[in-house]
Chain A
Amino acid sequence: MRGTGDRRLRRANIGTRVENHGLTWRRRDALRILAACMADWWLPRRVLAQRTSAPRKRERRVIVVTFGGGVRYEDTLARDGWVNVPHLTSDLVPQGLVYPAARHEGLTGHFNSTGALVTGSRQNVDAYGSEAPVTPTIFELFRKEHGLPPEEAWVIATNKSFGLMGGSKSRSFGDPYSANVVLPKQLLISTIKAAVSTNAGPGVEDRQALAERMMLALDEGYEGFGWRVYESGRALGAELKASLAKSLLEYFNDPAMPTSGDELTFFMTKEIMNRFAPSLLVVNFWDIDIAHYGAYSLYLEAIRRTDRLVHELWQHAQSLPQYRDRTTLIVVPEMGRDSDVAGNGFANHRSGDESCRRVWLVAVGAGVPKGAGTERPIRTLDVAPTVAQILGFKMAECEGKPLAELT
């Protein structure tokens, strides 16, 4: 891995062929081999052996996926918006239950709205993620009640400010019971920054070198990217590291991808599902927030990408025995965005107008009636207690109420 072959691979250019030992490889082949090397290196057999003493898995699983950044009802579930969410409307809704009249209450910033989603109570902490939610999260309540290890609950977020989303400030909870949090995009951004900060080295054109640089950056300390992984202290567990290496390399395999943080989040989520099969996963896709750039087409494109990734994630869950027939998928926007007339338009979510609050919720999978819908108004605050009922843990006092149709 660290020998001559590695240095040759490091020199390879994107979109070209890699010359090695007289053989001509395509970049994809080279990356696959590199991934295999990395996995062997980081995944010693004794780590696998340790897993036999892990506590027994819960029967049910829940995956909550957010259309992070916020989407307007009119751009998604309203008739004119269906074109932007074809998988949701044609593939998922017919298999599950849709609540078209959901509402986000509380502050319309990213951290506080997702904080409300995972606690069931409105949050009012620092909008940029320097403070944890005030009330206990579903991750802490779940792990504490059932005595579960950290790898049973995960937050995988494109939003770089979500490092503290996995646990609360609550004295009886916090770190010992928090979810593992990984912020794939932040790792990517930090690596790109390092690559472009000097004129030495291959820059960002050599994706393979960039992927290696990312893994080295993780060696130096993932906390610098806002990650909080409780599996084995400051050093990443070998199994996790191997997962990350594989997902990073798959991500870099696609020449179109490195403008999307959500694609990397997707790859990492799949790997974490494959390796750890956690019972509770919250996945935050966040490319949609590109809306702040004022380019409506990029906002719509990100909605379509999120729609596709959600569907692919569900298909992936169905392909894994640990998830098939026992998993409930809940899909919900973090919040809405401003209306054109009363607010500031799609680019923002600061007016607090109705468009900023009107969302929807789609559920599919275990325990969910098929092809149903209810106009009953619900709140995004109801997600946390619903998850609690599905996974069988007690929800501390919260503002939300379990969605009876899903439990």
Chain B
Amino acid sequence: MQFTATLTGEAAALARQHGEMLARLPATVHAFILVELEKWPTLFGAEQRYQRALLEHLSRVPTGELDQAVSGIGRIETESGVNRIGERSPARFQDEAQALLRTRGLMVAWRGEVDGFFQKVDPVLEAQLYTADAPRRLVVQIYGSGIAVQRERLWKPFKGVGVRVPLNLEGTETTERFLQRLAGVTEPARGVPALFAQAIESPLDAWIVESHEALHAVCEATGPASLTGLSYDRLRPYRDDLTRALNRKIQSGVESPQAFAAYARSLRIVPPAGSLPYAPDVLLAFVRDVLITGNGTLLMNNTFVEWAAIQALRRAQPRILVTRYGVRDRLKPFSSMVLFSQPRASDQLPVTRDPVGSFVDVEQLSYYVWLNAEKNAAYRKRTLYLFLAEGVDEMLAIRSGAAIAARSGLAPARLSDVHATMAHWLGASVPNGSGRPIVDILQ
């Protein structure tokens, strides 16, 4: 299949370099790779490294072996007629191929073959991309104040994984103090907690993702934050713009869900200045994708946090990720039934909050963030996960790939000790030695 891809720079060079191998691949796999290369400027470093490794690996595989590895995909393409599609744009080809596979009832079989192919390829690439001596990673998930935490059900979805560490919360009664103690000293020049500053090379290496603004406020205490931050609340003007555009489209008529999705992808609205502390093009594209392609991310703050976190882990693979969930609003009568509708200025439908439902939600969502991180070779066996709830005097600690001995009678740890534990894990020093690492977690 001869495709006409719009490629520039390194992506064009890669396509040229591996052109012979690409031409041997089944059209759907060929198109998938070209679509990724077309997105090159909006791919994160980790994604670019994966694509390079994939192309190099496939070019190294002997012709006969590669043909054999993709034969199942090719067979389904022939059976479905995908190989007779004349579309030369890889993206449009992909859409047509998917539609045809669905129509012919071969989508599940095709997906099975593609999964099978990548299940063989990915372990090879992962061994190359994520070596055993790669730096350790940290994922912290916080339930914000206001969520009606039920202590007897807290972190139940984890089904006993990890260890509960008692906490001494003295002097951390407010959200601000809680987060300040946890984050430690903020480096004045960089607007980022000092322990993060020591562990990252680029703002894209440390992410904070939250429903409200408290984490941002802590990081910005001494100046603009130089990390990657996503706040559902701060993105409100952007969400409203997207919502209005989508609603206008719905009102004017949509011929199919696929056409609606294509319209959403075509929107070129960007977040207004100031809504993101760090806003390179790759992040603007990321935020747009999260809001448009994630179910519920435009409508539910905690869903946004979860989906953005999962996508960040999968795509950007930051060394540090901190999420903070909050209380979500209840659905509004009437207007919540019409997707993307907004109440008129004259409609005074009251907004009410749902602290109890929010707890049920975040229990599941934080669990999914952890599950997804553990599916990712970048995080498996090298990540410390900490789960905290503001105002709750215990935390859950999970070390990927290593059991933490559950010792009874652990002395309550202060948040400064938790801070020191994170710093020790990341290989950062603790200013003034104010806290002591929790040895049971680190051993």
Contact = CB atoms under 8 A, between A and B. Distances in A.
A296 B335 contact: no
Interface in B298-321: 299-300, 302-303, 306-307
Contacts of A348: 295
Interface in A170-198: 185, 188-189, 192-193, 195-197
Interface stretch (B179-187, B360-368, B403-411): B360-368
A292 B334 CA distance: 18
A204 B367 contact: no
Contacts of A295: 296, 300, 302-303, 328, 357, 361
A347 B346 contact: no
A386 to B, nearest CB: 25
Interface in A123-145: 124, 127-128, 130
A210 B333 CA distance: 13
A203 B337 contact: no
Interface in B210-257: 250-251, 256-257
Given A258-B333, A301-B357, A346-B364, A293 B299 contact: yes
A77 to B, nearest CB: 19
B86 to A, nearest CB: 23
A340 B342 CA distance: 32
B371 interface: yes
Contact of A340 (B337, B345, B368): B368
B256 A128 contact: yes
Contact of A298 (B250, B331, B347): B331
B337 A188 contact: yes
Contact of B341 (A128, A192, A258): A192
Nearest to B256: A128
A56 B177 CA distance: 76
A295 B328 CA distance: 10
B332 A259 contact: yes
A292 B346 contact: no
B353 interface: no
Contacts of A298: 331, 357, 361
A205 B346 CA distance: 10
Contacts of B341: 192-193, 196
A379 B204 CA distance: 49
A297 B344 contact: no
Contacts of B250: 193
Interface size class on chain B is: 35 or more
B334 A204 contact: yes
Contacts of B299: 293
A294 interface: yes
A352 B108 contact: yes
B432 interface: no
A297 B354 contact: yes
B85 interface: no
A347 B337 contact: no
Given A196-B338, A295-B303, A298-B331, A204 B347 contact: yes
Contacts of B108: 107, 352
B39 interface: no
A298 B295 CA distance: 14
Given A192-B338, A192-B341, A297 B371 contact: no
Interface residues of A, number: 40
Given A124-B105, A205-B347, A258-B333, A345 B338 contact: no
Contacts of A301: 357
B412 interface: no
A336 to B, nearest CB: 15
Contact of A294 (B307, B338, B347, B354): B307
Contact of B344 (A196, A256, A347, A352): A196
Interface in B67-121: 102-103, 105, 108
A45 B343 CA distance: 42
Nearest to B374: A341
Contacts of B336: 259
Contact of A203 (B256, B295, B346): B346
Interface string A361-380: 00000000000000000000
B23 interface: no
Tell which of B335, B342, B364, B371 has the most Cβ of chain A within 10 Å.
B364
A210 B341 CA distance: 16
A127 B363 CA distance: 32
A104 B35 CA distance: 35
A346 B306 CA distance: 14
B296 A347 contact: yes
A192 B361 contact: no
Contacts of A199: 344-346
B13 interface: no
A154 B126 CA distance: 55
A35 interface: no
Contacts of A255: 333
Nearest to B296: A293
Contacts of A196: 335, 338, 341-344, 347
A286 to B, nearest CB: 12
A300 interface: yes
Contacts of A70: none
Contact of A296 (B256, B257, B361): B361
Given A127-B102, A188-B337, A296 B365 contact: yes
A196 B248 CA distance: 12
A120 interface: no
A115 interface: no
Contacts of A124: 103, 105
A258 B300 contact: no
B296 A296 contact: no
Contacts of B337: 185, 188-189, 192, 258-259, 261
B327 to A, nearest CB: 12
Contacts of A352: 108
Nearest to A345: B368
Interface string A60-86: 000000000000000000000000000
Contacts of B257: 128
B358 interface: yes
19 contacts: A124-B105, A188-B337, A192-B334, A192-B338, A193-B251, A193-B341, A203-B344, A203-B346, A204-B347, A204-B349, A259-B332, A259-B333, A259-B337, A293-B296, A293-B300, A294-B294, A296-B361, A296-B364, A297-B356
Q: Which 8 A-B pairs have the closest CB atoms?
A: A294-B303, A293-B296, A297-B357, A297-B360, A204-B334, A296-B364, A294-B296, A124-B105
Interface of A: 107, 124, 127-128, 130, 185, 188-189, 192-193, 195-197, 199, 203-205, 210, 255-259, 261, 292-298, 300-301, 340-341, 345-348, 352
Given A193-B250, A296-B360, 19 more contacts: A127-B102, A192-B335, A192-B337, A192-B338, A195-B334, A196-B341, A203-B344, A205-B349, A255-B333, A292-B295, A294-B295, A294-B302, A294-B361, A295-B302, A297-B354, A297-B358, A340-B368, A345-B364, A352-B108
